[in-house]
Structure 1
Amino acid sequence: MNLDVLTSAWDGDTAVGYPLLFGLVLLGSVVPVVPTGLVVGTAAAFAMTTAGLGLALVLAVATLAALTGDLVTFAICRFGGPSAVRWVTRGQHADRLDQVREQFRRHGWQIIVAGRLLPAGRIPVLAAAGALTYPWRRLVPASLLAAFLWALAYALLGVVSGGIFDSPLVAMLVATVLVLAVSAVLNLIGNRRRRTVPAAAEPEPCETV
């Protein structure tokens, strides 16, 4: 994503900045084509170094957008039928989806929170919640908590870079590097965990779902 575009959009124009932040996070939460963590991190860095955006509002808007995107994804999986679930979970491994579905039965709302924070965990969790017709009254509070913790985590990376550098562009560049580095580490951990969990489940072949 071009940081110059974000800088020009956020610089001194909150009428554009906050809707842009909301729209990008919402889009990336429904169709994963936008690096939403990067958007939040750079927005927080920009808020720390200029008066164009407020940090508290960045956190609030990012949380609301992420929550909205998760609820839309859940609704698609719950009411759209098998074809909609296949569309949402395209690129996901079937064994991974089955594993998440079983974990969801045991842990419920904790899986919703963990799925938001862990790489490649959100889509399988929301698909499982939709397939199992998880009740809205439990989903919404859990998704709100998950969205807030997610937005807070990436905003903190922007706060760190914005607190060190005075230049908005430099702060956003550093926030970008921090977000990418953290994402790479989490992906590495997630991949290692996914490789070990199926191996640990092999001694129980007779167990049914």
Structure 2
Amino acid sequence: MTTLEGMIAALAVLLAIVAVGSTVPVLPTGAAVSATAVVAAHRSPLALLAVVAVGGLGAYLGDAATFAICRAGGEALTRRLRMLREPLRLAATVRERLRAQPVTALLISRLIPGGRIPVLLTAAIVGLSWRTFIVSNVGACALWSATYAAIGLLGRSVFPQPWQGVVAAVVIVLVVTQVAGWIRRRREARVSAGA
């Protein structure tokens, strides 16, 4: 297998992991982008750009599938999943953020562990149009992919061997995800205790 064939295969795997992980959140999509970025950076700057583009495309496809599912299920899906404790208050807040700054709202929902699906579900319930979603989510997914690629590059710059950078990138992403999740749970516990 040539270097080009290997890179194409790696990008195809990255696309599949991110698209599936963005639809069914069981795969570490950010870690996949970071790790692939480390390997690509050792090859060429163009390979790194391809990783960002493919990671963004996979995230976009997964988000579109999730948004379509949420629009089809709507409020009935909300009741079944019981993901939103205060759907009306959250829906009003998300609606305001989506109308004012849709790219920022969708990007932040991608960066916060467990934040993307409730935001997409709420966006579907409040009637975010497909047009707004399609346009806004392009920027959000591109920024998300670039952020995780940058995390991978940070690992690459510290370690001389690609495999060391991959391990560092995966560890950084997992630690950041866990810390952000812990902070979110603490904040929710405080809000629940105060209510």
TM range (shorter): 0.7 to 0.9
How far off its partner does 1:53 sit? 7.8
Match of residue 118, structure 1, among 108, 112, 124: 112
How far off its partner does 1:37 sit? 0.8
Higher mean alpha-carbon deviation, 183-192 vs 14-23, is at 183-192
In structure 2, relative to structure 1, the CA distance for the partners of 1:93 and 1:78 (3 Å cut) is closer
Q: Secondary structure at the match of 1:120?
A: coil
| Aligned length in residues | 190
Structure 1 residue 165 and structure 2 residue 165: aligned?
no
More helix by share: 2
Instruction: Note the aligned Cα RMSD (angstroms).
Output: 2.7
How far off its partner does 1:135 sit? 0.6
Counterparts in 2 of 1:78-97, with a 5 A limit? 78-80=71-73, 85=77, 90=81, 93-95=83-85, 97=87
Tell me, in whole angstroms, the C-alpha distance in 2 between the residues paired with 1:177 and 1:50: 22
Unaligned runs of 5+ in 1: 1-7, 203-209
Counterparts in 2 of 1:45-194, with a 5 A limit? 45-50=38-43, 54-80=47-73, 85=77, 90=81, 93-95=83-85, 97-108=87-98, 109=102, 110-194=104-188
Tell me, in whole angstroms, the C-alpha distance in 2 between the residues paired with 1:24 and 1:12: 18
Structure 1 residue 24 and structure 2 residue 17: aligned?
yes
Percent of residue pairs bearing the same amino acid type? 33
Letter in 2 for 1:143: N
Tell me, in whole angstroms, the C-alpha distance in 2 between the residues paired with 1:167 and 1:38: 18
TM-score (norm 1): 0.79
Tell me, in whole angstroms, the C-alpha distance in 2 between the residues paired with 1:57 and 1:128: 32
Unaligned runs of 5+ in 2: none
Q: Secondary structure at the match of 1:23?
A: helix
Counterpart in 2 of 1:15? 8
